[in-house]
Every structure is written in structure tokens, then in C-alpha cells.
């Protein structure tokens, strides 16, 4: 598939679950990404969000893995997130130059992007010990990275993944088995997380076989009251 333009619309899977992107809220507090979507405390969701710039509390820190030209990094930064955009292609990362902040342990201020250029498949994990409120992976699979991805989730953080699945080789690229998920594989990889949604099937425009999952790392305190995650908040706006 051709690379996405940096200003292309985000994926519908990210739009569907973007309300969950945010740091763990205080008890009784519901973070929202847009003021018009604020929710009564009795319906508190654990992370929350579509516009971190207008939401109470600190802005979420998001890792956009294999970000390409950064369409999702740009969309998240526009909503006030701290974004770490990680990719092996320096030319692709250069498209985010207008949002970049000087190198630092974390991107700052909110709404800015830290780019990290690294070979994810032939070099050590470039962000050891760093954790995020959300990790986003779209159209990328490298199985040896999964322990590092899971370790990058803070307690209460959300993992949003969508990539190609078995069957794709019959209609286009990628076609190599190491880049295609097998049936139910994301569910197995996410054991230990709370899975909120999982899909395994075919999508048109462009035609592709995909698997996608939204899952949350449980809080360290197993005795805490279970968080309430909204499953059908409606799609966030792409603009």
C-alpha cells in the first residue's frame, strides 16, 4: 500500500477509540477530549479523550510506532497530546519537522512531537524504560517487538493496533508471512491486557485483510474499583 500523506485522515480504528487516550484520572474524574463530550462522574471512563488541550489533567503521552509520515502523530498533537513518533525512515519523519521540539526525555510542551529514528528490526529497542499513556501501531508488524510494546504501557494505558492479516497475500502487499497476523493472533499477543474490542476480517477502500484490537493494561491495584470504558462513544471527528 502507498504511504499515507502526513495530512491524511486518521484511521477509523483510532477515531473510534481515541476517547480512551489519556492518563489515569483522579477518582470521580472523567477526562474528555472535547468539552461537548464531557460525561457525568457516574460514567467515569478510565483514560479519556478527544481533545487533550481542553481536557482536565495532564496531557497524555502517546507513542506512534512505525509512524511513517506521521498522519496519526499530527492528528494527536493537534489534540494536545505529547507524541513520540518512531520510525526507521528519516525522510518520513522530516514531514513532522514543523511540530518537533528539541530532543528531550519526553516531548514537551503538549501538542508537540518528538521524532525518534531507529531501525526497529535490526537494533535494540530505542526507548528502554519509557512508558506511555497510549501506544498506537498501524499497518506494521514485527513480532519480536511485542515484549517492548507491552512494557511501554503504563498501568491504565491503552494499546490501539491495526495491521494486515492472513489472506492479504492473495490481494496485494504485504504478502510475506512474517508481516501478516494469523487468525486470532492479536488476542494471544495481548494476553494479560483487558481487551475492549477485537476485529479480524476484511475492509474495502483500500481492500485489505486486517486484524485490530483495543486493549488496556490493568491498574497495578487489583482491588481498585473497575474502570468503566465506553464502548460506543461514536467516532471522533477527523478534522
Q: Is residue 180 part of a domain?
A: yes
- Provide the pLDDT for residue 221: 76
In Å, the largest CA–CA distance within the chain is 49
How many domains are there within the chain? 1
- Provide the pLDDT for residue 57: 72
Q: Is residue 95 part of a domain?
A: yes
pLDDT averaged over consecutive 10-residue blocks of the chain (239 residues)? Answer: 66 93 51 36 36 70 97 94 96 93 55 92 96 96 95 96 83 82 91 94 84 92 74 64
Q: Is residue 232 part of a domain?
A: no
Q: Is residue 233 part of a domain?
A: no
Q: Is residue 222 part of a domain?
A: no
Q: Is residue 170 part of a domain?
A: yes
Q: Residue written as cell 477502500? A: 205
Q: Is residue 116 part of a domain?
A: yes
- Provide the pLDDT for residue 29: 35
**H-assigned helices in the chain:** 12-17, 71-78, 90-93, 146-151, 185-189
Cα torsion angle, 197, 147, 165, 96, sign: positive
- Provide the pLDDT for residue 224: 67
Q: Is residue 227 part of a domain?
A: no
Domain, as residue range, for 67: 12-216
Domain of residue 51, CATH code: 3.40.50.150
CA distance 49 to 26: 15
- Provide the pLDDT for residue 32: 39
Amino acid at each position: 500500500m502507498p504511504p499515507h500523506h502526513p495530512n491524511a485522515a486518521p484511521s477509523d480504528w483510532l477515531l473510534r477509540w481515541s476517547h480512551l487516550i489519556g492518563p489515569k484520572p483522579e477518582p470521580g474524574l472523567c477526562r474528555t477530549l472535547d468539552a461537548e463530550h464531557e460525561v457525568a462522574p457516574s460514567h467515569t471512563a478510565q483514560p479519556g479523550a478527544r481533545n487533550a488541550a481542553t481536557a482536565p489533567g495532564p496531557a497524555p503521552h502517546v507513542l506512534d510506532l512505525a509512524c511513517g509520515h506521521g498522519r496519526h502523530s499530527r492528528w494527536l498533537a493537534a489534540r494536545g497530546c505529547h507524541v513520540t513518533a518512531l520510525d526507521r525512515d528519516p525522510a518520513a519523519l522530516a514531514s513532522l519537522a514543523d511540530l518537533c521540539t528539541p530532543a528531550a526525555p519526553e516531548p514537551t510542551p503538549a501538542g508537540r512531537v518528538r521524532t525518534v529514528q531507529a531501525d526497529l528490526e535490526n537494533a535494540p529497542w530505542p526507548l528502554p524504560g519509557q512508558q506511555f499513556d497510549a501506544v498506537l501501531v498501524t499497518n506494521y508488524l514485527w513480532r519480536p517487538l511485542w515484549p517492548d510494546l507491552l512494557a511501554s504501557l503504563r498501568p491504565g494505558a491503552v494499546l490501539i493496533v491495526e495491521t494486515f492479516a492472513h489472506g492479504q497475500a492473495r490481494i496485494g502487499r504485504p504478502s510475506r508471512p512474517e508481516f501478516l497476523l494469523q487468525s486470532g493472533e492479536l488476542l494471544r499477543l495481548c494476553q494479560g491486557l483487558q481487551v475492549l474490542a477485537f476485529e479480524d476480517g476484511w475492509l474495502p477502500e483500500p481492500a485489505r485483510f486486517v486484524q485490530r484490537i483495543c486493549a488496556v493494561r490493568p491498574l497495578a491495584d487489583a482491588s481498585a474499583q473497575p474502570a468503566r470504558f465506553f464502548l460506543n462513544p461514536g467516532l471522533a471527528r477527523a478534522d
